Structure 1
Amino acid sequence: MKKIFLYILLFPIWGVVSAQKTEGIVHYEYQLNWIKMIKKLPYLTQEEKDRMENSFKNEENTKQKLNLYFNEKESIYTWGQDQQEYEGTEYKGRNEELLMHKNFELEKHNDMIEMSGKTYLLQDSLQKIEWKVMNQIKEVAGYICMKAVTEDKVKGQKITAWFTGDIPVASGPEQFHGLPGMILELDIDDGTLMIEATNVEFKKLEKELVLPKMKGKKINDKDFNALISKYINDSIKMQRNPYWAIRY
């Protein structure tokens, strides 16, 4: 308890001390557990879940590499340069289109996301995430992090984030942001999806934060969330796993 209390007291001070640590690259490993995902599908019987678990036992996890390029004003989250295909699964192929840009000065985001074979340009204001900061700490990639929780109401998922004040930039992987420090780990849906920083590289960025030319159907958050919700509900009714075609 004393350690947690001391961390909370020092958090604003560490933000000042770490002011120079506001530009660089966070390297993440994205690990999706197919067995845990399958067990959550409501239309499967226990026998079917057990059979699928046995089929996937040697290919339980999908591992991918993603990078977050950041400075104080903005961040871009996209595939790692050496990430060409899935690892740890028998299914091979190209990665879907993915680039998530957050502009903290303008409080806007500009994302390119592929869903069910279609590419969307998701452009809107940065939405405020209702985080609850907890009195728990742990180390991630060499940084002391605090725990925060929220909920993805569209997908019905519990979200746990671990963030560090040593990197005073309010960004993170996927669509998550808004904490007083960089998110270095995300636990989505009780460990079904884990996104963990493997290392942080502080450097002056040159072209990494220049947005490339992006193509796709323009859409705002409200309409995109409605598409996601409908796709999940329709897939479940048809007894299909929706997460073959959309991000978990």
Structure 2
Amino acid sequence: MTAKFLQKTLLTIVILFNALVVISAQEMEGEIRYLLVHNWTKKMMTLDYLSQQQRDRMAYMWGNDSEWKTYANLYFNSTESKYEDSEESAEHEDDGYSWRRDAYAIRRNFEKNTVFDIVTVLSKTYVIEDTLKAQDWKILNDMKEVAGHVCMNAFWEDTIKQQKITAWFALDMPAQLGPERLCGLPGIILEADINDGALLITADRIQLKKLTNELDKPKKVKGKHITEAEYREKTDELIKEKRKAEEAWFWALRY
């Protein structure tokens, strides 16, 4: 049995399974809390335009404090979703340091197939309004349990940010949702590993419940409105500038 045949067989199983639970999916609504673990040393090591000496020096500076944890929440129902940073702290902030929260809210309308994303680039707020375009995932054939749900993995590479992303999506939650700006798989993404642990995003609490006003759209949003193509262009330009200056781009742009 070839790997290609096995992958097609597993994908067929996923599609058939999703078809069996489509009725429950139409009624699925609730909130997922994700734990985000940032590893600054691993992030620095992925910057191939820095010398090994520069990367080693940064790793030495971080020492045992190279990880930082935050929470984010995904709210969803059968037609739309919103993902945003949580006010809940995942770290003890007794040392007086707190995580800077930039404007960030990721909205998906699956009935209209649109996005309404609020992002920050170089401390400037932008509103991305465009048609929803999912990542070009390659579904693999591994399985594991995440937050009590059996998940299958998939892979996608972001060529602009030079990120290799492995996502784990739930077989029993057939909705094309996920953390950050990730979407487009046959089930909700419950875990995403970016660049082998440079950023690890894992669902640690899933609550299926009736939402109140969590998905309400703000009446006024400050920020320049742009398209997805314009956002990708700004991202590409910023990373090229940081590469030329030999600086880490993720201090000016979400990882």
TM-score (norm: length of structure 2): 0.88
State the shift of 1:156 in Å. 2.1
State the shift of 1:157 in Å. 1.4
State the shift of 1:12 in Å. 2.9
Equivalent position of 2:41 in the other structure: 35
Partner of 2:173, secondary structure, is coil
- Mind listing any 5+ residue stretches in structure 1 that lack a counterpart? none
- Output aligned runs, 1:230-241, within 5 Å: 230-241=237-248
Structure 1 counterpart of 2:233, which letter?
A: A
Structure 2 counterpart of 1:143, which letter?
A: H
Q: Distance in 1 between matches of 2:196 and 2:104?
A: 24
1:8 corresponds to which of 2, 10, 13:
13
Partner of 1:12, secondary structure, is helix
State the shift of 1:43 in Å. 3.6
State the shift of 1:42 in Å. 2.7
Count of residues in Structure 1 that have an aligned counterpart in Structure 2: 247
2:68 corresponds to which of 62, 67, 88:
62
Q: Tell whether 2:99 aligns with 1:99.
A: no
- Output aligned runs, 1:157-196, within 5 Å: 157-196=163-202
Q: Distance in 1 between matches of 2:109 and 2:44?
A: 35
Equivalent position of 2:217 in the other structure: 211
1:76 to 1:208, Cα distance in 2 relative to 1, 3 A: same
Structure 1 counterpart of 2:236, which letter?
A: S
Equivalent position of 2:235 in the other structure: 228
Structure 1 counterpart of 2:13, which letter?
A: I
Equivalent position of 2:161 in the other structure: 155
1:194 to 1:155, Cα distance in 2 relative to 1, 3 A: same
Contact 1:62 1:87 (8 Å CA) reproduced: no
Question: Deviations for 1:131-186, whole angstroms, at most 9, x for unmatched residues?
Answer: 11111100111110010111212212111110012222211111111111111011
Contact 1:61 1:89 (8 Å CA) reproduced: no
Q: Distance in 1 between matches of 2:63 and 2:27?
A: 41
Partner of 1:58, secondary structure, is helix
Q: Tell whether 2:73 aligns with 1:45.
A: no
Q: Tell whether 2:168 aligns with 1:197.
A: no
TM-score (norm: length of structure 1): 0.90
Structure 2 counterpart of 1:218, which letter?
A: H
Q: Distance in 1 between matches of 2:141 and 2:27?
A: 24
State the shift of 1:216 in Å. 0.4
Structure 2 counterpart of 1:216, which letter?
A: G
Q: Distance in 2 between matches of 1:57 and 1:14?
A: 50
Contact 2:151 2:169 (8 Å CA) reproduced: yes
Contact 1:151 1:159 (8 Å CA) reproduced: yes
Contact 1:100 1:111 (8 Å CA) reproduced: yes
- Percent identical pairs in the alignment equals 41
Question: Deviations for 1:38-79, whole angstroms, at most 9, x for unmatched residues?
Answer: 112234332332222121122111211000000110000001
Equivalent position of 1:244 in the other structure: 251
- Output aligned runs, 1:129-148, within 5 Å: 129-148=135-154
Structure 2 counterpart of 1:42, which letter?
A: D
Higher mean displacement: 135-144 or 154-163: 154-163
